[in-house]
C-alpha cells in the first residue's frame, strides 16, 4: 500500500481528542471522522450507510488513510459520534471555516434555530435536540452552531454562539426569540450591528412600534427621517410585493435607552399570490442601523434565506428531520457534520448542479469527491 496523501481536512480533524479508552481504539479517530464526512458528502445519512460507503470506497480511502484494521463498523461510527465532545468537533469545524471565510464588513449573518424532531427520546425523557446556527448569507457558509435540548433554551444558546464568531462590521439578524437586550449588547460589543424581529416577548416594545406606525399612517405625527424601499418579484407561479418602511427611533418608544445602539424601527409588509390565493403578512423590527430602508430590507430578506439555503436542504437532502440518532452526543455531532458538508458543497464552484446533484456526482466519481475536498 502506498503512503497516504496529506489533506488539510485531516489536519483539522487530527486536533480532536479521542474520547475512547485505549483498548477500544481499533480504528484511528481521524479515519472514522474522515470516512463519515466523505460518506455524507456522497449521500450517506446514517451510520449504516457510512460503513457501506467505507467498504465500497476502501481503495480510494487508502490514498489518504492508514486504515490499520480496515473499515469501521456502523456500531463503531455510532459509538464514536455518541462519545465525541461536540465542542471538540465544533472547534475543528471553526478552524476549517476560518480558511474559507471572507471579511465580515457589511456581511449579513443570520442566527436561527432548527429542531431535530426525530431526536426526541420519550423513554429517556429527553427533549428533541434544537440546533442554533449562524449563517453567512453572501457566501452561504455555516459559521458555527450551538445545540440545546429544547427551543426555549435558544435564548441562552444565542449568546454562546455569538461569542464564538468574529463579527466585526457584520449585520446580525435574529428572529423574535433573540430580541433580547443582552443579545443586542453582545452583538454591539462584537463590533457588529443588529436587526431583530419584534413580537410580544418584550414589554411594550411591539405595542409602541405598532402605535407609532399607526400614527404615521393616519398623519398624526410627521414622518421625519422616514425611508421606504419596495421590491416586486415574480416567478414559479408566484408574485410577491415587499415594502420596508424605516424611521428613527421615536421618543414614544418606552425603554428605548435600554437597547444598546438602537437607532431605527422598521415595518415590512409582504403581499404575495400563491396558486391564485393572495396572502399577506406584516412584521416589525428594531435595529442599530440608521433608518435606511433599502439596507434593512436586504438584511431582513437575507435572514429568510436561512430556511431555504440551510434548513430546507438539511431536511430534503440529508433527512435531518428523520434522523433517529439519539445516544449521548450522536445527534449533535451528526448535525455538525451535515452543516460542515452543506458549507463544503455551497463553497464549491467547479461542479455544476444543486446540492443533491453534487452529492450524486461525488458518489459516482472519486475525482469529483476530490474536487469537493479541495484536492483539485
Picking from 115-119, 166-170, 271-275, 356-360, which range would have the lowest pLDDT averaged per residue? 115-119
What value does the mean pLDDT of the chain take?
Answer: 88
How much is the pLDDT for 290?
A: 97
CB contact at 8 A, 262 and 246: no
pLDDT at 332 over 70: yes
More confident residue, 151 or 142: 142
CB contact at 8 A, 182 and 206: no
| CA 160 – CA 146 distance, rounded (Å) | 7
pLDDT at 276 over 80: no
* Mean pLDDT, residues 199-227: 92
Q: How confident is the model at residue 87 (pLDDT cuts 50, 70, 90)?
A: confident
Q: How confident is the model at residue 81 (pLDDT cuts 50, 70, 90)?
A: very high
CB contact at 8 A, 132 and 70: no
Q: Encode pLDDT of 53-68 as tens digits.
A: 999 999 999 999 999 9
How much is the pLDDT for 352?
A: 93
Rg of the chain (C-alpha set): 23
Q: Encode pLDDT of 299-319 as tens digits.
A: 999 998 788 889 899 999 998
Q: Mind spelling out the 3-state secondary structure of 137-201? A: CCCCEEEEEEEECCHHHHHHHHHHHHHHCCCCCCEEEECHHHCCHHHHHHHHHCCCEEEEEECCC
Q: Encode pLDDT of 254-272 as tens digits.
A: 989 999 999 999 999 999 8
* Mean pLDDT, residues 124-134: 76
**Domains along the chain?**
8-84+327-372 (no CATH), 98-318 (3.90.350)
Picking from 87-101, 165-179, 342-356, which range would have the lowest pLDDT averaged per residue? 87-101
| CA 250 – CA 252 distance, rounded (Å) | 5
How much is the pLDDT for 200?
A: 83
Cα three-residue angle 83-85-90, rounded to 5 degrees: 135
Q: How confident is the model at residue 96 (pLDDT cuts 50, 70, 90)?
A: confident
| CA 130 – CA 161 distance, rounded (Å) | 13
Strand ranges, E, within the chain: 108-116, 129-136, 141-148, 171-174, 193-198, 227-235, 238-248, 264-274, 277-287
User: Residue 17's closest CA among 88, 75, 68?
Assistant: 88
pLDDT at 19 over 80: yes
pLDDT at 4 over 60: no
Amino acid at each position: 500500500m502506498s503512503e497516504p496523501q496529506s489533506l488539510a481536512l485531516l489536519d483539522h480533524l487530527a486536533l480532536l481528542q479521542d474520547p475512547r479508552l485505549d483498548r477500544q481504539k481499533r480504528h484511528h479517530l481521524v479515519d472514522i471522522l474522515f470516512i463519515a464526512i466523505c460518506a455524507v458528502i456522497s449521500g450517506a445519512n446514517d451510520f449504516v450507510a457510512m460503513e457501506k460507503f467505507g467498504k465500497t470506497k476502501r481503495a480510494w480511502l487508502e490514498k489518504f488513510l492508514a486504515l490499520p484494521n480496515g473499515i469501521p463498523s456502523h456500531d463503531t461510527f455510532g459509538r464514536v459520534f455518541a462519545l465525541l465532545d461536540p465542542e471538540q468537533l465544533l472547534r475543528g469545524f471553526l478552524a476549517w471555516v476560518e480558511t474559507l471565510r471572507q471579511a465580515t464588513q457589511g456581511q449579513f449573518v443570520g442566527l436561527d434555530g432548527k429542531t431535530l424532531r426525530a431526536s426526541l427520546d420519550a423513554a429517556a425523557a429527553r427533549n428533541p435536540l434544537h440546533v442554533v446556527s449562524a449563517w453567512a448569507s453572501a457566501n452561504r457558509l455555516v459559521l458555527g452552531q450551538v445545540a440545546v435540548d429544547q427551543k426555549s433554551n435558544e435564548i441562552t444558546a444565542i449568546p454562546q454562539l455569538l461569542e464564538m464568531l468574529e463579527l466585526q462590521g457584520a449585520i446580525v439578524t435574529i428572529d423574535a426569540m433573540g430580541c433580547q437586550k443582552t443579545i443586542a449588547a453582545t452583538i454591539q460589543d462584537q463590533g457588529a450591528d443588529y436587526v431583530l424581529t419584534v413580537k410580544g416577548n418584550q414589554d411594550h416594545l411591539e405595542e409602541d412600534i405598532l402605535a407609532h406606525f399607526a400614527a404615521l399612517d393616519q398623519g398624526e405625527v410627521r414622518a421625519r427621517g422616514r425611508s421606504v424601499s419596495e421590491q416586486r418579484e415574480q416567478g414559479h407561479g408566484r408574485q410577491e410585493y415587499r415594502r420596508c418602511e424605516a424611521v428613527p427611533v421615536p421618543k414614544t418608544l418606552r425603554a428605548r435607552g435600554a437597547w444598546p445602539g438602537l437607532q431605527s424601527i422598521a415595518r415590512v409588509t409582504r403581499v404575495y399570490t400563491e396558486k391564485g390565493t393572495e396572502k399577506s403578512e406584516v412584521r416589525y423590527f428594531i435595529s442599530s442601523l440608521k433608518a435606511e430602508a433599502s439596507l434593512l430590507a436586504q438584511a431582513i430578506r437575507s435572514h429568510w434565506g436561512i430556511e431555504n439555503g440551510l434548513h430546507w436542504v438539511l431536511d430534503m437532502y440529508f433527512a435531518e428531520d428523520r434522523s433517529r440518532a439519539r445516544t449521548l452526543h450522536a445527534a449533535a455531532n451528526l448535525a455538525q457534520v451535515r452543516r460542515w458538508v452543506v458549507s463544503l458543497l455551497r463553497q464549491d464552484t467547479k461542479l455544476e448542479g444543486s446540492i443533491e446533484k453534487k452529492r450524486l456526482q461525488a458518489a459516482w466519481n472519486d475525482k469529483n469527491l476530490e474536487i469537493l475536498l479541495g484536492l483539485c
